[in-house]
């Protein structure tokens, strides 16, 4: 028998035994903190209420709203189409498929920003992509979409365009303009909501 075959056998058994004695490595899918810090700093993780209202009106199927408030708050008012996952259950096994859908932007919201942000932190650090926060939460939603406030005379034309959109959205979502027909006679300019392009991870060459 050739020495080389013996060498081969020794290498196989040796390396297989090496696997056995390797120290345990707690393998988490956690994004390393240094890397995650940059994601935290990226403002693209927030979506404005306008962006979300526009996509809801257009019936964009690629948006999925998640309400992280308590079920009772959810009962009282929720954004149409939202799905309720209370913050303390956000990591439960059954919601994993809901929160990580390919090609669907999952948007978290609460009354303010904080709970949604905490939910985002908990999920996003496990490497789940396409996760956003509705900036300002339901409070902001009410002050912009449901009860929009007319900008002052001196405001820029963009502000008025936005206001026109808000009024239209308000009608759509049953807000304060819902039964004032005369208010809608002004032609509604379409506000173009610019979606930030998601950064894709560098694709590997070979």
Question: Does 44 participate in binding another protein (rule CB under 8 A)?
Answer: no
Smallest separation, CB 77 to another protein (Å) = 4
Interior angle at CA 139, CA 134 and CA 142, nearest 5: 100
How many residues are there in the chain? Answer: 206
**CA 136 – CA 46 distance, rounded (Å):** 9
- Window 90 to 119, contacts with another protein (CB under 8 A): 90-91, 97-98, 101-102, 110-115, 117-118
Question: Does 4 participate in binding another protein (rule CB under 8 A)?
Answer: yes
Question: Does 1 participate in binding another protein (rule CB under 8 A)?
Answer: yes
- State the number of binding residues for another protein (CB under 8 A): 81
DSSP structure string for 116-149:
HHHHHHHHHTTT--SEEEETTHHHHHIIIIIS--
Token pair for residue 166?
């808000």
Question: Does 149 participate in binding another protein (rule CB under 8 A)?
Answer: no
- Window 45 to 64, contacts with another protein (CB under 8 A): 56, 61, 64
Residue from 48, 160, 173, 189 binding another protein (CB under 8 A): 173
């Amino acid at each position: 028998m050739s020495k080389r075959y013996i060498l081969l056998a020794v290498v196989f058994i040796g390396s297989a035994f090496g696997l056995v004695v390797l120290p345990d490595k707690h393998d988490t899918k956690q994004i390393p903190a240094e890397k995650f810090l940059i994601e935290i700093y990226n403002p693209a993780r927030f979506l404005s209420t306008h962006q979300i209202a526009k996509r809801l009106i257009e019936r964009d199927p690629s948006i999925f709203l998640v309400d992280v408030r308590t079920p009772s708050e959810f009962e009282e008012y929720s954004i149409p189409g939202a799905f309720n996952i209370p913050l303390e259950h956000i990591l439960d096994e059954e919601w994993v498929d809901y929160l990580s859908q390919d090609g669907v932007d999952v948007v978290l919201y609460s009354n303010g920003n904080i709970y949604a942000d905490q939910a985002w932190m908990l999920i996003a650090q496990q490497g789940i992509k396409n996760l956003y926060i509705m900036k300002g939460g339901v409070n902001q939603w009410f002050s912009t979409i449901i009860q929009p406030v007319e900008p002052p005379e001196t405001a820029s034309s963009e502000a008025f365009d936005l206001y026109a959109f808000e009024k239209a959205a308000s009608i759509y979502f049953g807000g304060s303009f819902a039964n004032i027909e005369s208010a809608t006679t002004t032609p509604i300019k379409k506000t173009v909501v610019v979606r930030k392009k998601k950064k894709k991870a560098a694709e590997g060459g070979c």
